[in-house]
Amino acid sequence: MKLLHSIEGDLSQLEERTVLDLMDVLRKVHSTRLSLAVTEKSASLIENLHNIVCDMASENMELVDGNFALNYLNRICHIDSDLLDQDKVKVFVDIFRMKANDPDTVSFLVD
Where does residue 54 rank: exposed (0-12), middle (13-18), buried (19+ CB within 10 A)?
A: buried
DSSP letter, residue 101: T
Tell me what pLDDT residue 17 has. Answer: 92
Structure confidence by residue, pLDDT tens digits, 64-108: 988 899 999 999 998 888 889 999 999 989 999 998 887 766 665
Structure confidence by residue, pLDDT tens digits, 19-68: 999 999 999 999 988 889 989 999 999 999 999 999 999 999 989 988 89
Tell me what pLDDT residue 14 has. Answer: 84
Spans of all domains in the chain: 14-106
Q: How confident is the model at residue 109 (pLDDT cuts 50, 70, 90)?
A: low
